[in-house]
Amino acid sequence: MKSIKDKVLAEYEKGNIVVAGIEGLQTMPIKEFIKQPEDGMLYDLNRLESVVLTFIDDPKWINDFAVAKTIRVLKARIAALESQEEKECYNCHDKVKMVSKGEFCPNCACDQ
């Protein structure tokens, strides 16, 4: 197990994650991994809720379940942030992604 731990940690240093699946260990860039839909990520991580709930005798399932739900909410939050249109600030005319429908960008809003 020590060598697997070394491999996992070494790959992480290179920007990769290692996941254990049916076909053994798989290594992939984490930047690419997080681009896939949440179901794909949770499947690769073996943390789909339906899977997690089959390990109900191991208390580890509670946090695994929480991890799955957290990933789903974070993916939804990222999608919401990325879908925001850029709008021109009334004050400085910078094009910025507005968090709310304000007239000023966050930079100018601080000065008001």
Question: Which residue stretch of 7-15, 52-60, 75-83, 87-95 sits at the interface with Zn ion (rule: CB under 5 A)?
Answer: 87-95
SS3 16: strand
CA 8 to chain centre: 19
Contact 55, 64 (CB under 8 A): yes
Question: Which residue stretch of 4-12, 45-53, 60-68, 90-98 sits at the interface with Zn ion (rule: CB under 5 A)?
Answer: 90-98
- Tell me which of 51, 67, 71, 108 binds Zn ion, using CB under 5 A: 108
Q: By CB under 5 A, name the binding residues for Zn ion.
A: 89, 91-92, 105, 108
